[in-house]
Amino acid sequence: MIGLYRVLLIPAQDYARHPHITRHHHIFENFDDRFKITVLNVRLRKGRKTRVTRHRIVEVGFATGDILRSYVLGYIRFHLELARLIKSERYDCVLLSNIISPLIPLLISGRPIVFDYKDAYALSASVPFKTPLRQVVYCVSILFERIIFGFHMTVVVPSPSMQVLVRERFGINSRIITNGVNTELFHPIPKDMRDHVRSELGVRPGEFCLCYLGSIENWIGLEAVVEALVRLKSLRFIMIGGPPRSGRYLRYIMGLCEKRGVRDRVTWTGFKNQREAAPIVSACDATIVPFPLNRELSAVALPDKVFEYLASGTPVISTKLPDVQKLFGDLVHFYSSSDELIEVLRRLQSNMNDEKRDLSEQIARARTYDWKNISKSYENLISELVQSNLKRQQQ
């Protein structure tokens, strides 16, 4: 095909088995037929492939049940396979979103490299571990990042705060291509469907439903929600998601709800895929992003759930995350304490009908972040880089 672009993608997660659809899956599965994509996938999870893809996947590594061990065991094989692919395939561009090795840019010479810095990797990579291993992983990750970003490449970040971070930490400029939302799934639903979903969740007449969608782990802060349940007797809390690792924080929150006498107004659905989760979000009266501000990752957080909540047509409540304030400060209700959260919930409950009428703007804004639009931005970037590279070679 004329104009075919060959792209090698090295994703950050297990592209084929990650329990949640990732940024890269959303973006690259929406690419048009001009792009022929090979995914060099480090296998990190056990079990069969759970993600449908139309791209070629080359797998390396061994799933051991421990992500760090899986990376170590697949380290040599990853480099050998990367060298083989670069030599045998004529890739026009390599898209990297993994700090597995500082040697990667050396093996990929003579073609454009895009680094999708979708996360503050040194922080996120070290979070699962306890000190002193956490500090070791953090220092190694920082070293790898500094070496990698010492090479010429185009860096893409998902938020304004991440753009500031890479400029201050590595002295490089970057382009912003945000996360997005699948608006075919996340959208308002008819009243009869809404009533049916609420009935299945055990919602009682007159209850105001607050929804959280995402991983239930200690990087979120649900203690303020528990306090709101104690003080607002008509509030019900719907949790959609599961613990990605130990489940300790989930047990703690459930125990706290039991101790404070509000367990009967908490519905935990467990993990749901997006198709299952979307109608539950739309059936609720408000949604929440409960990220504690005393954590480093919160300073650069712009979670997918913000886009999904907005597109669903439910009022969005969030802690004062900098990027959420920058992009959606006029649409989101912010809180900093239990008292502020309770005040927001009381206001939303008393003005529920007016809030529903006023949500058309947030739905329209969210649609501009549809993953198809995000994919188009990435297609344009890669096309631009490849064409510029061809011109340089011809001069």
DSSP-assigned states of every residue in 17-64: T-SS--HHHHHHTT--TTEEEEEEEE--S-SS--S--SSEEEEES---
Q: How far apart are CA 81 and CA 72, in angstroms?
A: 15
Residues 22 and 133 placed together within one structural domain of the fold: yes
Residues 164 and 283 placed together within one structural domain of the fold: no
What CATH number does the domain containing 262 carry? 3.40.50.2000
Note the pLDDT tens digit of each residue in 24-67: 999 999 999 999 999 998 887 777 776 778 899 998 877 776 76
| Residue 69: predicted pLDDT | 77
Residue 224 lies in a domain: yes
Residue 130 lies in a domain: yes
Residue 166: give the domain boundaries. Answer: 5-180+370-394
Question: What order of strands is seen across the sheet that includes strand 113-116?
Answer: 56-60, 35-42, 5-10, 93-96, 113-116, 154-157, 175-176
Residues 160 and 197 placed together within one structural domain of the fold: no
Q: Which of 68-77, 231-240, 269-278 has the lowest mean pLDDT?
A: 68-77
Residues 49 and 157 placed together within one structural domain of the fold: yes
Residue 182 has pLDDT above 90, yes or no: yes
Q: What is the DSSP string of 294-317?
A: TSGGGGG---HHHHHHHHHT--EE
Residues 203 and 264 placed together within one structural domain of the fold: yes
Query: What share of the chain in percent tops pLDDT 90?
Result: 61
Residue 175 has pLDDT above 70, yes or no: yes
Note the pLDDT tens digit of each residue in 315-367: 999 999 999 999 999 999 999 999 999 999 999 998 875 555 568 889 999 99
| Residue 244: predicted pLDDT | 64
Max CA-CA distance within the chain? 74
Contact assessment for residue 312 and residue 288, using Cβ atoms and an 8 Å cutoff? no
Q: Which of 9-18, 99-108, 130-139, 318-327 has the lowest mean pLDDT?
A: 130-139
What's the whole-model pTM score?
A: 0.89
Q: What is the mean pLDDT of residues 225-234?
A: 96
Would you tell me how many other CB atoms lie within 10 Å of the CB of residue 384?
12
Residues 76 and 201 placed together within one structural domain of the fold: no
Residue 185 lies in a domain: no
Report which secondary-structure segment, H or E, holds 140: helix 133-148
Note the pLDDT tens digit of each residue in 64-92: 767 677 777 778 888 889 999 998 988 99
Residues 383 and 332 placed together within one structural domain of the fold: no
Q: How far apart are CA 115 and CA 203, in angstroms?
A: 45
Residues 360 and 269 placed together within one structural domain of the fold: yes
Contact assessment for residue 86 and residue 6, using Cβ atoms and an 8 Å cutoff? no
